[in-house]
Amino acid sequence: MQLPWFQRFPTAEDTQTLYNRALSEPCPRATLTRQAEIFSSSIVAVGAFNPAIFTPDWLERNNLIGRDDLEDARKGLSLIVSHQVCAYETDWFALQVLEEQFSLTSKGPLTPAFADLAIGILSFVPHTPITAVGLNFLGHYRLASTEEYHQVGDVLAPKSIWVRLYPEEHATAGLADLTIRIQQTDKNRNQISGGEKQISIQPSAKVRYGVFFAYNDHHVVAPTNEAATAAELAADTISAYWELSWQDAVRVFDGVLSQALAR
Amino acid sequence: MLVQTTSPARTGRNSRIADIFDFQSEPVAPKPFEVVRGSTVFSDRVAFATSVSQRVEKVFLPPLPAKAVQTPVGADASVIQLWEGRVLDVDLHNDVMSVLLSARIGQVPDHIGEIDLQWVADQDRDLVQPGAVFYLTLFKQLRGSSVRNAQELRFRRRPSWSRQQIQRIHADAVMIRSKMRARPIAE
């Protein structure tokens, strides 16, 4: 049985298919109606890690970061390296590794160099047992007015039920957090793999009259042969899907806002 | 399902990381690191009121005085345009590199240009050689109530091919080759 595309190991054919698809489909950024005020990414891997390995010096020795980045990380107040946790940041990323979770977060402008760093790090720990990789994108979008701001919340989460439950004159109901999960299913609506997407929507804490979106593209890492270890497979997953997820996140964020405001 | 991605956050004694900070005798108990087991959602969902992922601060307390914590991880920028560049030639005499730029946003044709090496960070100067790949980004950045436009040039750093990767590529090549057939000779 052919496994779904996001569960099996991405072969050369998969990569070519994705590449062709990316080329044949119009670039979603070209038709966007609005641009994020803040946009960032985070790559999270779940598994069993040895945090003490991932020091800034180790990254620099392996030529994954430069000398300036090393100095940045060393001087940072957040630097901590122990057996249980390794965390530090430079001016363009923050790394945090726990025994069961690896998390790389972008700072400043997002570029593919960020994914390259994650791929590079995981490539240097090929025997780390990784079970899942999440490609996360976070965006803050500014709306033109308070009316638009409330319209988005009202369209996504109608308040009629809550107004009936709390009819008091001075009570209001507002959307604080909405999460939608997208899963691939068969015709009986049974999930056919562990991979899924989650999109969360909240009021922005950073942008006035802004909406915050979080997009999680979750990939299960399940080595099916001995040719690749789990960490290599995780790196391949990031390599194959990170940019596509970025495009999809932007398409979804823009699509949600556009449709909500068109009502 | 092999792993959970939407399980509620576990805090306190459920977190192994929290245990290492138990020795602290702060008047206020330190907020433990939060681990959502099995989740790949980028989540530092400490307090729901301030909500998910928008809390860009560090959310764990290292065994240091509290004032040393809470360094912001400042995501504050948005990309306006992104080019992937490839170094074609380097002219050290005039301190410029000739590059091929391919837009990664929008459908803009490739073009060739020259970039002064002064725009390359010192740490990346060793990487400037024909064939090297870099990213040139135009972005806007929120700084308090002001917005500034800026650019960044960052060279790509990827490890070389591993033995396993080469083996996989070889296996893929063998598979593709096995599907190839010679064209029939026209009579």
State how far the Cα of A247 lies from the Cα of A253, in Å rounded to an integer: 10
Which chain A positions have a beta carbon within 8 Å of B157's beta carbon?
63-66, 113, 116-117, 120
Q: Are residues B100 and B136 in the same domain?
A: yes
Q: Are residues B82 and B128 in the same domain?
A: yes
Q: What confidence score (pLDDT) does residue A28 get?
A: 43
Q: What confidence score (pLDDT) does residue A217 get?
A: 95
Nearest-by-CA chain B residue for A181: B6
Q: Which residues pair with A89 in a beta bridge?
A: A94
Count of structural domains, chain B: 2
- Domain-terminating residue out of B47, B71, B95: B71
Q: What's the average model confidence in pLDDT over A40-61?
A: 95
Report whether pLDDT(B71) > 80.
no
State how far the Cα of A50 lies from the Cα of A25, in Å rounded to an integer: 41
- Cβ within 8 Å, pair B172-A11: yes
Q: Are residues B148 and B96 in the same domain?
A: yes
- Domain-terminating residue out of B71, B88, B123: B71
Q: Are residues B67 and B83 in the same domain?
A: no
Q: What confidence score (pLDDT) does residue A78 get?
A: 87
Q: Are residues B30 and B100 in the same domain?
A: no
Question: Average pLDDT of chain B?
Answer: 70
Q: Are A87 and A103 in contact (CB under 8 A)?
A: no
Report whether pLDDT(B60) > 50.
no
B179 domain residue, yes or no: no
- Which range of A31-40, B66-75, B177-186 scores highest in mean pLDDT? It is B177-186
Q: Is the dihedral of CA A166, A168, A171, A174 positive or negative?
A: positive
Q: Residue A8 — very low, low, confident or very high, per pLDDT cuts 50/70/90?
A: very low
Report whether pLDDT(B4) > 50.
no
Report whether pLDDT(A91) > 60.
yes
Kindly provide the residue ranges of all beta strands, DSSP E only, lying in A99-245, ordered along the sequence: 101-106, 130-142, 178-185, 191-203, 210-220
Instruction: For Cα atoms A79, A138, A119, give the angle at the middle one, nearest 5 degrees.
Output: 60
User: By percentage, how much of chain A surpasses pLDDT 90?
Assistant: 69
Q: What confidence score (pLDDT) does residue A17 get?
A: 54
Q: Are A202 and A138 in contact (CB under 8 A)?
A: no
Listed by start position, the domains of chain A span: 32-49+100-262
Q: What confidence score (pLDDT) does residue B43 get?
A: 61
Residue position matching structure tokens 């008091």: A168
Q: What confidence score (pLDDT) does residue B143 get?
A: 78
Distance from CA of B31 to the nearest CA of A (A): 16
Q: Are A64 and A77 in contact (CB under 8 A)?
A: no
State how far the Cα of B36 lies from the Cα of A132, in Å rounded to an integer: 13
Q: What confidence score (pLDDT) does residue A195 get?
A: 86
Residue position matching structure tokens 């991880």: B73
Closest CA to A6 of B40, B166, B163: B40
Q: What confidence score (pLDDT) does residue B159 get?
A: 82
The whole domain housing B10 covers 1-71
Per-residue pLDDT tens for A108-124? Answer: 899 999 999 999 999 99
User: By percentage, how much of chain B surpasses pLDDT 90?
Assistant: 37
Identify the residue with better confidence: A15 or A212.
A212
Query: Which amino acid type is present at position B49?
Result: A
Contacts of B95 (CB under 8 A, 6+ apart): B116, B117, B118
State how far the Cα of A118 lies from the Cα of B20, in Å rounded to an integer: 27
Identify the residue with better confidence: B7 or B121.
B121
Reported as type and span, the H/E element at residue A17 is: helix A12-24
Q: Which of A13-22, A92-101, A233-242, B176-185 has the lowest mean pLDDT?
A: A13-22
Q: Residue B5 — very low, low, confident or very high, per pLDDT cuts 50/70/90?
A: very low
- Cβ within 8 Å, pair A198-B16: no
Q: Are residues B40 and B19 in the same domain?
A: yes
Which chain B positions have a beta carbon within 8 Å of A134's beta carbon?
5, 39-42
Q: Which of A20-29, A166-175, B129-138, B145-154 has the lowest mean pLDDT?
A: A20-29
Kindly provide the residue ranges of all beta strands, DSSP E only, lying in A38-177, ordered along the sequence: 38-47, 80-81, 85-89, 93-98, 101-106, 130-142
**Sheet harboring A210-220: ordered strands across?**
A80-81, A85-89, A93-98, A101-106, A38-47, A130-142, A210-220, A191-203, A178-185
Q: Are residues B62 and B105 in the same domain?
A: no
- Cβ within 8 Å, pair A176-B51: yes
Count Cβ atoms below 10 Å from residue B139 Cβ, excluding itself.
21
- Cβ within 8 Å, pair B53-A107: no
State how far the Cα of A108 lies from the Cα of B104, in Å rounded to an integer: 18
Report whether pLDDT(B30) > 50.
no
State how far the Cα of A129 lies from the Cα of B14, in Å rounded to an integer: 22
B60 domain residue, yes or no: yes
Q: What confidence score (pLDDT) does residue A35 get?
A: 87
Q: What's the average model confidence in pLDDT over A168-190?
A: 87
CATH value at residue B110:
2.40.50
Q: Are residues B50 and B108 in the same domain?
A: no
- Cβ within 8 Å, pair B42-A138: yes
Report whether pLDDT(A198) > 90.
yes
Closest CA to B70 of B13, B31, B19: B31
Identify the residue with better confidence: B92 or B46.
B92
B170 domain residue, yes or no: no
Q: What confidence score (pLDDT) does residue B73 get?
A: 52
Q: Which residues pair with B114 in a beta bridge?
A: B98
Nearest-by-CA chain A residue for B158: A120
Q: Is the dihedral of CA A186, A190, A196, A202 positive or negative?
A: positive
Residue position matching structure tokens 């996360």: A136
B45 domain residue, yes or no: yes
